[in-house]
Amino acid sequence: MKKNLVLVLLVILIAVASCSFTNKSFETNDKDKLLLDLITYVLERGHYEPKDINDKFSANVFEDFIDILDPTKRYFLESDVKEFEKYKYQIDDQIKNTDISFFNLVHQRLMKRMDEAKGIYAEVLEEPFDFEKEETINIDYAEVPYAKNRRELKERWRKQLKYNALGVYDNKVKIRKSAMTTAEGDGSVSVDVDVSALDPDKKVSVRDFESSKSTVDPAKEELKNMTLAEVEASARETTKNTLDEFFDFVDELERKDWFEQYVNTIVDEFDPHTYYFGPSEKDKFDISMSGKFEGIGARLQKKPEGAKVVEIISGGPVWQAKNLEVGDEILKVGQDGEEPIDIVGMRLDDAIKLIKGPKGTVVDLTVRKVDGTIDVISITRDVVEIEESYAKSATVEKDDIKYGLIHLPKFYVDFDDYTERNAATDVAKEVERLKQSGAEGLILDLRDNGGGSLKTVVEMAGLFIKDGPVVQVRSSGQRKEVHEDKDERIQWDGPLVILVNELSASASEILAAAMQDYKRAVVLGSKQTFGKGTVQNVIPLDNIVRSNEHGDLGAIKITTQKFYRINGGSTQLEGVKSDIVVPDRYSYIDLGERDQENPLEWDRISPADYNVWDGYIDYEATVARSKARLSDNPQVKLIEENARWLKEQQDETVVSLNYKAYSSRQDRNKEKSNYFKNLSKYDSKLTFESLKYEQDLFTQDPVLREKRDRWHQDLANDVYVEEAINVLQDLKLNTLKKENTKLAVKG
């Protein structure tokens, strides 16, 4: 999987450390060249497994950069690529000499071709599509050659746009048919829109289309009165609007954004987790890792009229002041009485920089309220905590025994101040609260947890074991280090189940692996976890340059170590294999470290010295009973069937552009999709509750109450959680048997 231009940073295992480098002089005053020089310097001296920057490396960068910029082959011509090929084996030399000729040529050509593409798609969408024609499109773009000329390129755009419009047309025709057959006065209709057909490249966020339940639906009424030709024209208009939005977004990108992508193509050749991010991306990364930022506490969306408020974060300044609401549009931003700056038409990232600011400072917002009135609202900025980033817990009773569940979305930490809120201390608090509530078994849910801080995972493991090693870490060419829990206190000595899936990565894998090696917990979930067994350091590039006239240079996240289980095996590529395997929707889809570009290899080192947990009896029998239960579970069989179907859908890359064939396929898929909706209807009959401290918050925060109610309902519909409770029940009963046996012997 290649990194897209707009990268979503997965939270991975990070250890922030200062790095010592020799005093090298960086002599260029060109920021692009300085970045290239700095980054290659750090990579060659600091990466765990440095690559030779040679002709093979050069060819890989060449192919990957072209592919990232034009993955669907709708911009560059064959002649462009041939012109670029003179650099195919020169990029390594250019990197060493801080020469950016290749980037300059490709970037300039891309800008030209994208500008031409605006004219091409406008031309194509002026003409009606013939949806009765028998033709297909191959959406496996890797197998498609580059167009030889503008005529071929236009034809490629025609097919792609027809494919996009076909999905919209199919939906509109079905709405129209429903409207024409619905009884007079009944405007109710439920329609699922194929959003993927609107944006198959997933380059643009397409606005949600929702079912209408109103008495009179204007859109439905309008479609009812349209001819099929008018419906087709409407579908083309919708498609055009989507592309216009995409190119508006592209037009906002600056040269530095494209150059950062080039730098990351180079960096990505070392391994998939080494990554350069500019100052704004570094800010987003810090927020992701800490779960907090300083600002007003509102999420914004770019709109032509300004920045629209799409969510208000519970507990933040806006939430407390109740002076903004979802749907309000911010038009101007001023700093505590200063002249405001108009943000209409401004890049969203730039507008957010004006709105965010240090705790205690005031920002003046000129706002168009939902009712159309214009008002100036002053907000005092504060620390905003993103509640969904943090650990949360719930209790559930079964057969008069109470169990606790802790959901941990990431191993968060504030690297600037570790004494602040972090995952280890939060989980410790939740464990103590669950103990006080009478919980006799614990589930730690690490599904979809991409990792985080190494320090927090070692501390967290110490909550469940007396003392001993948790993870082994090795740097390039150096002896291993063993990270241990040295505190003999055990906060939780009861039954423990850890839930994982294919998206449980890095720090999640360290914890799951350690608990598995100690036989301290039963690991339940996917066949294996993500398989990321590497450690990254974040190095601010400003720390390397003595004098810098270019401002913040950003940072590089670089792989410096590999970690190993205490049994000596690496989790790299192999991940953690669950004790109890339960299929999920990802079971047959390419996902995980093994499916990334340029991953490091799996290996093994000597094991650490540790003693297996002796708190359970019949551990293997408990696992065997769970497997027997799951083998006969109809919900698990349905999940397996769904996973296979999703794989079939993914493998189907040739799509008909004939309306009847397309619509028939969509109907079959819709029927199958509805069949699999039964998965969400599963009911374990279990009732989950928040702890008292959280219930007390609900009176002041109804949004939090709603979030928890939804989460509890999801837990009740979750067969994995249900089986985890069954396993805890077996472990608890086995423990009671053990205790009764001891009492009988004493008696």
Residues 85 and 83: their CA atoms lie apart, in Å, by 5
Give pLDDT tens digits for 496-553: 999 999 999 999 999 999 999 999 999 999 999 999 999 998 888 888 877 667 678 8
- Dump pLDDT digits (tens) for 52-111: 999 999 999 999 999 999 999 999 999 999 999 999 999 999 999 999 999 999 999 999
CATH of the domain spanning 292-385: 2.30.42.10
Average pLDDT over residues 198-226: 48
pLDDT of residue 415: 64
Please spell the DSSP secondary structure of 569-621, one letter per residue: BB-TTT--B-SEE---TTTTS--SGGGSSSPPPP-B-PPP------S-SSHHH
Q: What is the mean pLDDT of residues 239-259?
A: 89
Residue intervals of the chain classified under CATH 3.90.226.10 are: 388-533+564-735
Burial of 702 (0-12, 13-18, 19+ CB in 10 A): exposed
pTM above 0.85, yes or no: no
Q: pLDDT tens across 404-433, in order?
A: 999 999 998 876 665 678 999 999 999 999
**Paired residues of 295 in beta bridges:** 382
Residues of the chain with CATH 2.30.42.10: 292-385
Q: Which residues of 178-211 are buried (b: 16+ CB within 10 A; e: fewer)?
A: bbeeeeeeebebeeebbbebbbbeeebeeeeeee
| Mean pLDDT of all residues in 205-226 | 53
The 10s digit of each residue's pLDDT in 339-375 is 888 887 677 777 888 888 888 999 999 888 877 778 8
pLDDT in tens, 469-504: 999 999 987 789 999 999 999 999 999 999 999 999
For the chain, percent of residues with pLDDT exceeding 70: 86
Between 43 and 383, whose confidence is greater? 43
- CATH classification code of 388-533+564-735: 3.90.226.10
Report how far residue 214's alpha carbon sits from residue 27's, in angstroms, rounded to the nearest whole number: 67
For 445, the 3-state DSSP assignment is strand
Helix (H) or strand (E) holding 558: strand 555-564
